[in-house]
Amino acid sequence: MQVWRTASLPYLLILPALLFLLVFFVYPLAQAFLVAFQSPQGEVTLQHFQRMWRDINFQPAVRNTFLLIVLIVPLQLVLALIIALLVHSRFWGASAFLYVCAIPLGISDLAAGIVWLSIFAERGYLNSILQGLGLVDSPFLYLSYQHPEWLFTAIILTEVWRATAIVMIVLVAGLQMIPRDYLEAAELCGAGPFQRIWYVILPLLKPSLQTALIIRTIFAFEVFAVVLVLAGRLIPVLAGESFFWYMDYRNTHMAAAYAVLIMVLSTLVTWLYLKLLRPREELLA
């Protein structure tokens, strides 16, 4: 009786969650994966990937997705680190500051897109304020295809506003796990604040940085609702193309092909993060 309870109990306890994942995640995932490689007649084929490669929106979608990731994720990482360090320093009002910064966690990316659309639209807040102050004569079309740099700026601002909290929460938790003794010892040895951050905090924060980067980058590959609301079809992105192939053009195979591509790219980048940010063994002890 004792042996039975200790050996198989953990597996029995996670069995419901595992079954849930298998039925609602793994099975549909496998099906979607197969749909990408099946012709409408049911044979195995690469025609959908070939068609995806030749599509006029494919290269712009890949380029835009990568551009957004490269611009947004590092910016968010730096900002989240600054906020996390500030909160960690326990200044007066630090908890309130943490909660305020975490508010965007509670809203969907579509809602965030709509909020910033109301700022950048032709008759939005930004134009109204600038016109009211007399700085411009007529509304400036920020979100038009003639100004792609403004489209990107709006998207980046929205994504940074919305998702920095995700990275910040992980880093705050990671900072709390660093024993204060190390920092006190460093201070006694004469290390200034920047030296303490660079030589003590950041190396010990590596596991959290790795987790936060993996999470944020996987989500960034799926950037969709914000781009859809602000730019519509002007800025193709991979998840958006998958959406339009399914909803507008009614071709599940092409949609699945794009989805498989997103999955492969996310897996690749995750593997890269795991290799490059491998924390040293001492930290894991």
Partner 1 sequence: MWQFFRDELWPVVNPGSINFEFMQEQLLAEEVWIGWDHTARVPEALKQKPDDFLAVPAPRGPEGLGFMTVVAGLGIPAGAPNRAEAEELIDYLTRPLTQIATLREVAFFPVVQEAEPTTIGGLAGLSRGVQVLADGVAKQSAAPNAVVTLLPAGLGGRAGEINKIYRDAFTRIVINREAISTVLAQEGQNLQNLLNETGAPCWPPDPPSIGPCQLELE
User: What are the residues binding partner 1 (CB under 8 A)?
Assistant: 56, 122-123, 141, 143-146, 231-234, 248-251
Closer residue to partner 1 in complex, CB, 143/259: 143
CA separation for the pair 221, 69 (Å, rounded): 7
At its nearest, how many Å lie between partner 1 and the CB of residue 134?
A: 22
At its nearest, how many Å lie between partner 1 and the CB of residue 123?
A: 7
CA separation for the pair 22, 218 (Å, rounded): 21
CA separation for the pair 172, 88 (Å, rounded): 7
At its nearest, how many Å lie between partner 1 and the CB of residue 55?
A: 8
CA separation for the pair 226, 119 (Å, rounded): 13
CA separation for the pair 64, 242 (Å, rounded): 14
Closer residue to partner 1 in complex, CB, 28/40: 40
CA separation for the pair 244, 233 (Å, rounded): 9
Looking at residue 279, the DSSP 8-state letter turns out to be P
At its nearest, how many Å lie between partner 1 and the CB of residue 141?
A: 7
Tokens of 13: 């306890």
Closer residue to partner 1 in complex, CB, 98/155: 155
The string of DSSP letters for 96-122 reads HHHHHHHGGGGS-HHHHHHHHHHHHST
CB of 248 within 8 A of CB of 188?
no
Closer residue to partner 1 in complex, CB, 49/97: 49
CA separation for the pair 67, 50 (Å, rounded): 23
Closer residue to partner 1 in complex, CB, 249/271: 249
User: At residue 38, what are phi and psi to the nearest 5 degrees?
Assistant: -105, 140
Closer residue to partner 1 in complex, CB, 97/243: 243
At its nearest, how many Å lie between partner 1 and the CB of residue 125?
A: 15
CA 159 to chain centre: 9
At its nearest, how many Å lie between partner 1 and the CB of residue 237?
A: 15
